[in-house]
Structure 1
Amino acid sequence: MADSIEELYETYNILTEAKENVSKHSQDYLKCMERTKGNDKEKKLAAQIISKFFKHFPDLQEKALNAIFDLCEDDDCMIRISAMKVLPAICKDSKEYIPKVTDILAQLLQLDESDHNTPTNTLTQIYREDPLGTIKTIFNHVHTTDDATEREKCLLFVYKKIVKMEEKLSNEINDLLLEEGKKIIPESDATEFGLVMPYLTASKLTKTIAGQQELVNLVAEKAEIDGTFDPLEENGQNVNRVMMCVDFALPLFNANIESTKFTKFYCDQMLPNYDAIGKLKDGSTLQYHSLKQLAELSTHCGKLENPSLHVVQIFDKLKHFMPLPPEDADLEKMPNLDFTSVECLLYAFHRLARQCPDFLTADPAVLKDFRSRLTYFSRGVGGCKKSLEKHAGKKLDEDQLKIAPAVFDNISSLIKDLYYTVPIYKCNIQLSFKSITKKIKLAPEKNSAPQKRHTPIQFESSNGSAPKNARPNKGEGIKLYAPPSGKFSNNFQSYERGGRGRGRGRGSRGGRGSRGGWRN
């Protein structure tokens, strides 16, 4: 081994001493390429020599570059790292090879964490040499590869690494990221969607009404709100896709950009499937999140062609959460009352029913029944307020203490409007979960820790289930109820992944078809 290393050093000295005549020593340069098949030390030294004299042998550059690429795929981690580190020097001297080198590095981004940083850092150096060309090549790779992990790593590099690294991107690059992002969204999986959408929703598109509408249309297409909806299809990925899309669309709705199509979809498709959604993993969290989204969507809903057809869906679900007063008034405890879900549904009903003011008054029996429910539920609100006062000074969930008074005040205001002889729809409230959003989202999140979320407050009976007949007992026996924990976004990345795969055109780790309900 000592002799082979010594020979390499002698070859290096020959090439160095040749100076302006170095190009005449092509045979010596070829010897260096042959040593890329030698032992570990030979491979590392050969890679350095090849890169140093690369520009002097134009006729051998293709062969030399392929020799370096072979080392980038070596089984030894340290050799892969050494080979990748010489690529920026090659690109600096011979910029015509930037696209080819970028394409190879884009594939190598999927390496294991132990040496993932090297292709990332190497690609960053090459980006400095040709920003626009490098990003164009990466996007071309994204559109042509069938490897889900390669796509994800490439988009992570562009939309997180580059965007974060550059304080101000050029107009050309911003336009490229914007146009390519719009192409990627329709065929994206959950992870890709989550990487690209934050950039799009912070781009210049949001500065104009036309741009905002374009983004809303893009999200609507991805959510497939014009199609049929089966919450159990693809193991619940349909639900995840819709909710994630709506989360990104909500900030875009305003007086000029209406949420009408989304609101109709939630009334006609999500609410009728509410029970089915509850059967999914973290079903309770998904259900509550869907109600929060419906409430927010209803804020900017435009004119509905047949409003009563959609309002009745909210009304029926609202009655499910607002029981009738019990026939037997002797029992002491009230059933479970889900105040936070009622706030969402009552708010959505209040927003949409104003488009069909005769919905409640057309049938006196319907109005009488609903008012009985409102009265009974209002008692529950009063009882829970007293319960909170009773717990004053005790250790309670901080978010709960912030939200609870707002929930009760909102419900009381909405009920007051609906309890008029002829129901009115005049009060304007701020949804309780919106009032603390800014404070909550500033808290750092760790994927390894359970996600803390807003906890609904409910009355609970003595045996844990709703009694057939009950009445309030002035706040006695009330406790704060915590629903099942979890966070719906945990399901968004459930597409399959395989083991590490390397190579130019060699086996991939899972095709794009494995991304479940997110794939169109």
Structure 2
Amino acid sequence: MDNIERLYKCYEILSEAGDKISEHVEEYKEIIKAVKGSSKEKRLASQFIGNFFKHFPDLADTAIDAQFDLCEDDDTQIRRQAIKDLPKLCQGNGDATIRVGDTLAQLLILDDATELQQVNNSLLAIIKLDTKSSVTGLFQQITTGDETTRERCLKFIATKLLTMGPTVITKEIEDYIVEEIKKALQDVTADEFHLCMTILGATKLGSTITGHAELVKLATEQAELNNTDTDIIAVDDEVVERFIQCATAAAPYFSKTIKSTAFVAHVCDKLLPIKTWNMIATAVSQDQIQLRLLKVFAEMITNTDKLENASERINAVYHVLLEYMPLPKLSDEDLGDTPPSFQFSHAECLLYALHTLGKNHPNSLSFVEDAEKLKDFRARLQYLARGTQGYIKKLEEALKGKTGEELKTEENQLKQTALKTTSNINVLIRDLFHSPPIFKHDIVLSWIVPKNTKLGKRHAPITFGEKAAANGKEKDQEPEKKARASNDQKFYSPPSGKYSNKVNQNYGNNNRTRQRGGGGGGYRNRRFNKY
């Protein structure tokens, strides 16, 4: 009798043994040993091990290890078969489910699309069998795995686990996920932080005021607002990047109830002083790092409470704004044929910040009390208005007569955004040009897309290559980052003037040495990507 026939014979004996199956230990051992045999023996062993696994608890560890060996076989077909059969080991066995969940979590880094799809299918299958044990296995890899494995596990939770509905994600499971993600936040890269906050936002925390406050608290702790030295900011771009990431994560949850005051004060005190501002991101695309900071600053400022030292903090905004509002030419002859050149997106953020803070603190605009400063400010506003109005005219001419389909093209979408930006600037200038400035108009920042923010409707998890994953074609590459619309916006480059272009490139790298149990948490000594 050859080995294949012997395997089938063992299978037959075990299948027909009934209540006496536990007496046939040797037959089950033969099946387990077949994982060292030929390709056909291995495939049969993979199927048979799981079929009788629950009847031989004393051989559980040996059987599991044998199945795991098959998951690492050189033959792709055998690996896929072994991965497909892993859920058989999990029926009614919590300990085995944790081990299988842990192993499947490690396999999420596979490059082969078909194998990866099978890993996802097997993970979903064991989650339906025993959600708590399966998720425990996942979090073991989030705790101890390397960076790629951690990120893939977090993506799986965000894009697959949390979409499985209330029959799987019960209150107990959701509570467990929340607590484990909070622990994971003790030591994260920027990518991991982004994923963790996405996951938490898709849980109960994203649907209540109390939950929003907790999410803001987590982002505040990561930002370390009280531990940042101005000199460190000036020489360490990572400190600025960390703040942008944390502020972006917190921004959706600020409201009339949950104030952004601490974040806004931090920007005014630590990042906007001119000496620091001019040293931010000097080694990379300075305009773009600064713009990302200004955009999240503008988003947060609407929900700021009354500021202490309001005059000094508004002055910080005012002085940076002057950097983006050049003095006019002495005469039209000096101007010649060269149109004004402005960074309109930077100007929109800063004008909005000054307008909002001025509205909340009308008696704290110290430059208004200085006749020379006010004259200078109004002259700069007037010059900016000339450039803005000229640009608006060109944009309107470019968009005039376009059909609905034509307006959907990327270039025309960017022109429409540019038109929103310059129109906002025009409205803000009209208010600020008054002497003294008035604060009559409200605007919606050009990159903000109005959405339903009623509580009770959870924030949908951000997807990362979701369509590709659904087809078993998830690529082994950095996920597209979609933290917020403010970080996704592309910009139209006009024929004259300067409309800020967004550059989304890797910043540093993601390598790190993991230090577990260090306490304190956060982005400590990390290199990471921006979104």
- Give 1 or 2 for the bigger CA radius of gyration: 1
| Inter-CA distance 386–159: structure 2 relative to 1 (3 Å threshold) | closer
SS in 2 for 1:254: coil
Instruction: Write the deviation string for residues 262-289 of structure 1: whole angstroms up to 9, x where unpaired.
Output: 1122223333444444545444333222
Equivalent in the alignment of 2:430: 416
Instruction: Say if 2:22 and 2:56, in contact at 8 Å, map to a contact too.
Output: yes
Question: Pick from 321, 339, 360: which aligns with 2:324?
Answer: 321
Is 2:509 the counterpart of 1:494? Answer: yes
Equivalent in the alignment of 1:199: 199
Equivalent in the alignment of 1:428: 442
Equivalent in the alignment of 2:471: none
SS in 1 for 2:110: coil
SS in 2 for 1:181: helix
C-alpha distance in structure 1 between counterparts of 2:186 and 2:54, whole Å:
43
| Inter-CA distance 307–55: structure 2 relative to 1 (3 Å threshold) | same
Instruction: Write the deviation string for residues 97-141 of structure 1: whole angstroms up to 9, x where unpaired.
Output: 222322232223333334222232222211111112221332244
SS in 2 for 1:432: coil
C-alpha distance in structure 2 between counterparts of 1:276 and 1:308, whole Å:
24
Instruction: Say if 1:191 and 1:492, in contact at 8 Å, map to a contact too.
Output: no
Instruction: Say if 1:72 and 1:81, in contact at 8 Å, map to a contact too.
Output: yes
Instruction: Say if 1:259 and 1:297, in contact at 8 Å, map to a contact too.
Output: yes
Equivalent in the alignment of 1:516: 527
Q: CA deviation at 1:242?
A: 2.3
| Inter-CA distance 309–436: structure 2 relative to 1 (3 Å threshold) | same
Amino acid at match of 2:123: L
Instruction: Write the deviation string for residues 54-85 of structure 1: whole angstroms up to 9, x where unpaired.
Output: 23323323322222222223233322222222
Amino acid at match of 1:325: P
Equivalent in the alignment of 1:351: 356
Instruction: Say if 1:322 and 1:373, in contact at 8 Å, map to a contact too.
Output: yes
| Inter-CA distance 269–108: structure 2 relative to 1 (3 Å threshold) | same
Amino acid at match of 2:503: G
Equivalent in the alignment of 2:88: 89
| Inter-CA distance 109–385: structure 2 relative to 1 (3 Å threshold) | closer
Instruction: Say if 2:280 and 2:290, in contact at 8 Å, map to a contact too.
Output: yes
Equivalent in the alignment of 2:15: 16
| Inter-CA distance 431–14: structure 2 relative to 1 (3 Å threshold) | closer
Equivalent in the alignment of 1:133: 133
Equivalent in the alignment of 1:287: 290
Q: CA deviation at 1:219?
A: 0.7
Equivalent in the alignment of 2:520: none
| Inter-CA distance 80–328: structure 2 relative to 1 (3 Å threshold) | same
Equivalent in the alignment of 1:475: none
Amino acid at match of 1:455: F
| 1:303-382 correspondence runs (5 A) | 303-331=306-334, 332=336, 333-354=338-359, 355=361, 356-382=363-389
Give identity over the alignment, percent. 36
Equivalent in the alignment of 1:56: 55
C-alpha distance in structure 2 between counterparts of 1:295 and 1:96, whole Å:
50
Amino acid at match of 2:321: L
SS in 2 for 1:327: coil
| Inter-CA distance 232–27: structure 2 relative to 1 (3 Å threshold) | farther
Q: CA deviation at 1:8?
A: 2.2
Equivalent in the alignment of 1:270: 271
C-alpha distance in structure 2 between counterparts of 1:405 and 1:249, whole Å:
28
Amino acid at match of 1:138: L
Equivalent in the alignment of 1:224: 224
Instruction: Say if 2:178 and 2:203, in contact at 8 Å, map to a contact too.
Output: yes
| Inter-CA distance 307–320: structure 2 relative to 1 (3 Å threshold) | same
- The TM-score normalised by the length of structure 2 is 0.79
C-alpha distance in structure 2 between counterparts of 1:12 and 1:121, whole Å:
26
Amino acid at match of 2:491: T
Equivalent in the alignment of 2:244: 243
Range with greater deviation from structure 2 (276-285 or 109-118): 276-285
Q: CA deviation at 1:16?
A: 3.3
Gaps of 5+ in 2: 453-462, 466-478, 482-486, 514-522
Q: CA deviation at 1:215?
A: 1.1
Q: CA deviation at 1:218?
A: 0.7
**Number of matched pairs:** 475
Instruction: Say if 1:109 and 1:119, in contact at 8 Å, map to a contact too.
Output: yes
Is 2:83 the counterpart of 1:76? Answer: no
Instruction: Please give the root-mean-square deviation of Cα atoms over the aligned residues, in Å.
Output: 3.4
Equivalent in the alignment of 1:472: none
- The TM-score normalised by the length of structure 1 is 0.80
Instruction: Say if 1:12 and 1:49, in contact at 8 Å, map to a contact too.
Output: yes
Instruction: Write the deviation string for residues 169-195 of structure 1: whole angstroms up to 9, x where unpaired.
Output: 211112222222222234222222232
Instruction: Write the deviation string for residues 383-432 of structure 1: whole angstroms up to 9, x where unpaired.
Output: 33443455464879423443344434433333333333333334322223
Amino acid at match of 1:345: L
Q: CA deviation at 1:345?
A: 0.8
Equivalent in the alignment of 1:261: 262
C-alpha distance in structure 2 between counterparts of 1:141 and 1:390, whole Å:
56
Instruction: Say if 2:101 and 2:133, in contact at 8 Å, map to a contact too.
Output: no
| 1:448-487 correspondence runs (5 A) | 453-455=489-491, 479=496, 481=498, 483-487=500-504
| Inter-CA distance 65–262: structure 2 relative to 1 (3 Å threshold) | same
Q: CA deviation at 1:248?
A: 2.2
